[in-house]
Amino acid sequence: MAHMPTIVLVGHGMVGQRFLEALADRGVTERARIVVLCEEPRPAYDRVRLTSYFDGKKPDDLSMVEDGFMARHGIELHLDDPAETIDREARTVTSRAGRVIAYDTLVLATGSYPFVPPVPGKDATGCFVYRTIEDLLAIEEYAKTAATGAVVGGGLLGLEAAGALKGLGLETHIVEFAPRLMPVQVDEGGGAALLRTIENMGLIVHTGTGTQEVLTEDGAVTGMALSDGSTVATDMVVFSAGVRPRDQLARDCGLGVGERGGIAVDERCRTSDPAVYAIGECALAADGRVYGLVAPGYEMALTAAAAIAEDEAGPAAAAAGATFTGADTSTKLKLLGVDVASFGDAHGTTENCLDVVYSDSRSGIYKKLVVDQEGVLLGGVLVGDAESYGMLRPMTGTKPPVSPEQLVLPAGAGAPVALGPSSLPDDAIICSCHNVTKGAICACSSLPEVKKCTKAGTGCGSCVKVIQQLLPKPADSGMCGCFSYTRSELYEIVRTMRFTSYAQLLDSHGRAEARGGEGCEICKPAVASILASLTNEYILDGERAALQDTNDHFLANMQRNGSYSIVPRIPGGEITPDKLIVIGEVARDFGLYTKITGGQRIDLFGARVDQLPAIWARLVDAGFESGHAYGKSLRTVKSCVGQTWCRYGVQDSVKMAIDLELRYRGLRAPHKLKSAVSGCARECAEAQSKDFGVIATANGWNLYVGGNGGATPRHADLLAQDLSDAELIRLIDRFLMFYIRTADRLERTAAWLERLEGGLEHLRDVIVHDKLGLCDELEALMAAHVATYRDEWAETLNDPERLRRFVSFVNAPEAPDPSVKFVPERGQIKPDLTVLTLEGVSAR
């Protein structure tokens, strides 16, 4: 039997996982045993987006490993069991748990470790580093007892750490030894613009000074002494002053390392031992550099995988990435909400180069392009506005078709129409993380296809907007066969033309073959929702009744046996004993099944359609109204008990939840809306899983948007922090009306936000910064809704004509539906499944 070689990978970070994927792509996993030793207790996760944990992401949300990947490819993954020694002569690796694994090929992907300055007090209680998920969990826990935090380091990770501390409610200091923030990525002008913006956010920045000592009392942090003679009072310190390559394993086993660290490798990522490779931040590349970005690490992973594949199966198995001679260190980030990007020769080190600079200190925008004497673009720095990064970076090394001055000027300042991605050559690299060209992207027809076939857009994500601009647009984006318009376009038509009926819209803007017809099941409910959100009129009057879905048609939720459930509104989950008694009496008198919902309400099941008005009458008399559980509208605003009762609460979450629910009740939308308000960061109301969620801070409220549960759960994104009551309500007004205005039919806010061009940042520009000048109009639309809201149950009860529809049989109004039958269960009722089977009542 032929020998099956063993490949051992030491380290399972982003680069290690990319290496495994590259082996699988080349078929190596089918002819070799693959063993992975991982120091952390979890598989590879997205360290680039580490800080998103503080924006609501769970550790599992950051995973880089596709479900079933390891099992599918027969890879042995050992978590929480790092390699401790390497015996190159015996070709074995020994792990902490005592595993001794013989290897034919060894790949070191041990990454880097945080540099902690050797200052007194660095090991005190309250000192942390910012590198792993476990570090973040520890920081989060300690911050609960702290009021002030300090970050040592003003680079990429330092600013991310500062943003995390600020988000945890701490007064935050940043200490940077260099004369400016982000000294590696930006120049003096960019650093100045970044400093102004960050200070305006309330962070305290100390540049040009270092940490001399961490001050302590009883072994815990109380402050820091700086090299300029000043002191900073702080409860915790986070060290984020750079990283160093983790090369100790290589040193211990005699592999070659660089003078300043890093495992020395050649152009194929081989170390001084041909059987050992090194990739990622632990490696000193052949050009003498240690690369600290993920894109070069991915290139090394591809190079090593190609070399190993060639060794295992001959030259035909090797593919792209056969040598690594250096990498693009361009980067685009959003730090503390500020866009920062640099590319190419950002600092202008090329001889006789020229700078083209645009600076607007008032807006915190700084743009610098570096060009040579012939106008060839060499690099640049963008702070505050990095929208053009996706176009400028691929142009590096070429002469743009317009002058560099026109490339930095803002819109409306004399600049021509911006260049589009179509002007780039086919060999332009669009995705630097995975080295994907424009030509490869244009060979695909959709963004999912691009991600699957090329992996472009799955790294840092900065290229996604350009990718979408390169992909072909659908020939017909109409909602259905009746209209050649999208839902958002129909919304604008109805709003602008002030249409009040579906027939008007169909006859004036429907497809020629659909005009004069009755429409279809796709567009009728969608247009009904648009009309309801704009006019707020009773949804069952006139033609509007024929447009509704089954549930809206009877203002209740139809169940599987043809009966209905009724959900009265209980704002914020707060209810008086008297109202509880009424619900109990109604359930008892009508023989209904009762269930407490996940949205802090009580659902009453088993009502026949002819019983609905009588049940509503009892509830309305007691002060209840429709909970709109049947509609594509606001369902609930959950809440914890907040500071009124809870010793951890910092705001009155119940009052805010009630105010929000009563404000947005009955608001028709493309899909259902759910919300919650938590009184503190412990998040008992689960606000970050809602379409819009609110979490109290010591200074006000944090607003999260775009979350949902369901089949594809998504955590909401942090939109704004420390808002007053008025600011919070104003932003939610704008958010909801902008969503209603632009979303597709049956599109939840989570999917809408994912699809929205520019994503969260574009949303923030529109509804926080009023970039499109829409905010006054959005607020006016919401004000009109609030002013014209009427309870649909009460509206029905007050009109005998409207009540006529609530009968089981038109020709026998008093006769109950004989097919609606129940059997007892646990002291209540449930649908009679025998009747369902025999009589064929459809489940909905």
CATH of the domain at 650: 3.30.413.10
Same domain, 415 and 425: no
- What values do phi and psi take at 449, rounded to 5? -65, -40
pLDDT value of position 830: 86
Distance CA 593, CA 603 (A): 8
For β-strands 634-639 and 822-825, DSSP reports them as unpaired
Q: What are 624-636's pLDDT values in tens digits?
A: 999 999 899 999 9
Residue 416 has pLDDT above 60, yes or no: no
Q: What is the pTM of this model?
A: 0.57
Give domain status of residue 523, yes or no.
Answer: yes
Indicate which CATH number applies to the domain containing 233: 3.50.50.60
Same domain, 254 and 193: no
Give domain status of residue 740, yes or no.
Answer: yes
Average pLDDT over residues 459-487: 76
Q: What are 781-815's pLDDT values in tens digits?
A: 999 999 999 999 999 999 888 888 887 765 556 66
Distance CA 129, CA 115 (A): 9
Indicate which CATH number applies to the domain containing 612: 3.90.480
pLDDT value of position 417: 44
Same domain, 779 and 647: yes
Give domain status of residue 52, yes or no.
Answer: yes
Average pLDDT over residues 340-366: 83
Give domain status of residue 481, yes or no.
Answer: no
Q: How confident is the model at residue 598 (pLDDT cuts 50, 70, 90)?
A: confident
Give how many domains the chain has, as a whole number. 7
Q: Domain ends where: 419, 434, 459?
A: 419
Residue 412 has pLDDT above 70, yes or no: no
In the three-class reduction of DSSP (H, G, I as helix; E, B as strand; rest coil), residue 693 is classed as strand
% of the chain at pLDDT higher than 70: 93
Full domain range(s) for residue 67: 6-113+245-317
Same domain, 523 and 640: no
Q: What are 308-350's pLDDT values in tens digits?
A: 998 765 444 444 447 887 777 777 776 676 778 888 888 888 8
Long-range CB contacts for residues 246-253, cutoff 8 Å, separation at least 24: 246/110, 246/111, 246/112, 246/113, 246/281, 246/282, 247/110, 247/282, 249/10, 249/83, 249/85, 249/86, 249/108, 249/110, 250/86, 250/108, 250/278, 250/282, 252/85, 252/86, 253/85, 253/86, 253/87, 253/88
Q: Domain ends where: 211, 241, 271?
A: 241
- Starting at the earlier edge strand, list the strands of the sheet with 171-176: 127-129, 236-239, 148-152, 171-176, 204-207
Q: What are 34-91's pLDDT values in tens digits?
A: 999 999 999 999 888 787 777 667 788 888 998 899 999 999 999 999 999 999 999 9
Distance CA 207, CA 193 (A): 14
- What values do phi and psi take at 751, rounded to 5? -65, -35
Distance CA 92, CA 95 (A): 10
Q: What are 701-740's pLDDT values in tens digits?
A: 999 999 987 767 889 999 999 999 999 999 999 999 999 9
Average pLDDT, the chain: 87
